[in-house]
Structure 1
């Protein structure tokens, strides 16, 4: 038997063993695909925007400049347009509270001196209408915050007060939509902006981001540490293992109640937006890697629906262009 044939047989024999014992971070679980619509309808491309689900519809909103909402109906596989916000809003993480979308901690205006929106904006999907909510306490104003909902309260974390120029915050606040009460909670270990927050298993996780300084290197000062607020004890901790691929402009999804999926982002050391999909298990705080997105993108959001993850639009390179005109969907093996 030739040496080539022996080599091939040995390779076939040991490949399964190699993959069985290879590090979790090498895993390529699942598959991403670009998702078309049933009728040829498309989204309105945008960046520094957001993506959020209410029931079976997904809402792509915000942008540089004022643009109508793009609404994806997952049952019909179609896109339609919704009402544009009353002002320009960008750099925010919207949340679904009782089937209305709350925007807290957004920025408005042009780079690099964007200003925080001083009040809460609320979008009603049934009425396709925006309304002005309560004012945000003046001394707690900032934008590019991480926002998440847990047990009927909305938590607002970190952010930046002066656009992309500075004054980064490590604040944590909680807003009760039922009473309008706003409370200040203990500061996080690290200040950050251009990131997202997510609640899981009685904790709030702050993952990704940076401390933006336009007068220096805007893409520097990445924050790889994962800060965790325990809602039962009211205390912060920082995980031993940081985000494997530090990046800003990333977005999060909670998959199956115990896996936090970190998607996309931008850094200064590569021109293309990041496509990595890294996953934190909230039970053992170990990281793994799933299949990378088809198109790297930052400045958007992620939606989980029927065990699939959807991302839409965003920017394909570091900075503000080009805006990506597609949606893609992840399905786990």
Structure 2
């Protein structure tokens, strides 16, 4: 099923009025849920394997990127010795061949929910969230060159485009961002400001471009480009009770949105990675029927972009949300994430091979 949505080439990107929404009253305060650590007796097999735990310890709401056979884990939130969690700029590197961890130069600015993509053998970070009691969107942007081991500052994101937790995709020299959020106040009743913005950044020219907005605002969402289509999968709209199963597809040639077969399981806070013509989605948080908004999912589901069909896969051995996924040589790596609603980071590092 494909329902075309009337958004056409040249449509201006406008940030329409956004009504504030808040986390449900029972949403846990960061650090006030379960104690961090690896869940007991996870079951592996059916494509799943356990890898060396994150060297620096538990991490959640981070970004990931792959360069060669290495997986980079960037920013996020970590355990604060004084209690709760704190935003970090730490960058750790997982060697998929040796099953070992090392450190890389930290982000110049600590951030969680960073917007991360890899183009031309370099890692780009285009904004994210940071702050204390309330996380706010940052315009700060950087590029990492593995040859020098250094971060270089880029011009900041244009005013009004800043957000974190966007769906990300790459085609050629352009990085695509869809949705995201400008404000996330953790804890019961915290403000969550979701946007429908869609934009691209050309790494060669340094130019930003506005694209037709998402049919509905989304954050904590999966994203991938397959061929000439940018897919935006699941996510939520201003709160864990507002998780969605929608799959939106932006044709990057015609710049028109269409709607594809929905996810079998509505969820936000998912990890997603493309292998071939399929997009794999893992975990997530939230339940839209109101029965338990703090649900953390073990679901793993794959979307076949050519057939417009979903397939259920063997579940995650360790259910998590607030994590990220990246493919290396056909194997998908999923380091870190939270095992309970809110913030409950773990150091678990799993791999899934379709």
TM-score normalised by structure 2 residue count: 0.78
Are the equivalent residues in 1 in contact too, given 2:240–2:294 (CA < 8 A)? no
Are the equivalent residues in 1 in contact too, given 2:271–2:284 (CA < 8 A)? yes
SS of residue matched to 1:204 = strand
Q: Who is 2:11 aligned against?
A: none
SS of residue matched to 1:220 = helix
1:89-126: per-residue Cα shift (whole Å, max 9, x none)?
Answer: 11124111111111113111134x31111131222223
1:138-157: per-residue Cα shift (whole Å, max 9, x none)?
Answer: 02222221121111111111
| Pairing 1:95–2:117 present | yes
Q: Who is 1:246 aligned against?
A: 266
Correspondent of 1:175 among 201, 204, 210: 201
Higher share in helix: 1
Correspondent of 1:284 among 307, 319, 337: 307
1:270 Cα deviation after fit: 6.1
Are the equivalent residues in 2 in contact too, given 1:272–1:296 (CA < 8 A)? no
Number of aligned positions between the proteins: 293
Q: Who is 1:44 aligned against?
A: 57
Pick which of 139-148 and 196-205 moved more: 139-148
The gaps in structure 1 that reach 5 residues or longer are 1-28, 213-217
Are the equivalent residues in 2 in contact too, given 1:93–1:196 (CA < 8 A)? no
| Pairing 1:233–2:254 present | yes
Q: Who is 2:163 aligned against?
A: 142
For residues 1-333 of structure 1, the aligned pairs below 5 Å read 30-36=46-52, 42-64=55-77, 65-111=87-133, 113-164=134-185, 165-212=191-238, 218-239=239-260, 241-255=261-275, 257-268=276-287, 269=292, 271=294, 273-321=296-344, 323-332=345-354
Distance in 1, matches of 2:295 and 2:182, equals 27
Instruction: Give the structure, 1 or 2, with the largest relative contact order (CA under 8 Å, sep 6 or more).
Output: 2
The gaps in structure 2 that reach 5 residues or longer are 1-44, 78-86, 186-190
Are the equivalent residues in 2 in contact too, given 1:222–1:246 (CA < 8 A)? yes
Distance in 2, matches of 1:253 and 1:166, equals 25
Rg larger for = 1
1:84 Cα deviation after fit: 1.8
1:228 Cα deviation after fit: 0.6
Distance in 1, matches of 2:167 and 2:330, equals 24
Pick which of 172-181 and 68-77 moved more: 68-77
Distance in 2, matches of 1:271 and 1:136, equals 33
Pick which of 167-176 and 53-62 moved more: 167-176
Distance in 1, matches of 2:47 and 2:105, equals 33
Distance in 2, matches of 1:267 and 1:254, equals 23
Are the equivalent residues in 2 in contact too, given 1:50–1:62 (CA < 8 A)? yes
Pick which of 184-193 and 101-110 moved more: 101-110
Are the equivalent residues in 1 in contact too, given 2:223–2:231 (CA < 8 A)? yes
1:254 Cα deviation after fit: 0.6
Q: Who is 2:28 aligned against?
A: none
Specify whether residues 140 and 303 from structure 1 end up closer, same or farther in structure 2 by C-alpha distance, changes over 3 A only: closer
Distance in 1, matches of 2:138 and 2:176, equals 17
Specify whether residues 42 and 114 from structure 1 end up closer, same or farther in structure 2 by C-alpha distance, changes over 3 A only: closer
Are the equivalent residues in 2 in contact too, given 1:31–1:331 (CA < 8 A)? yes
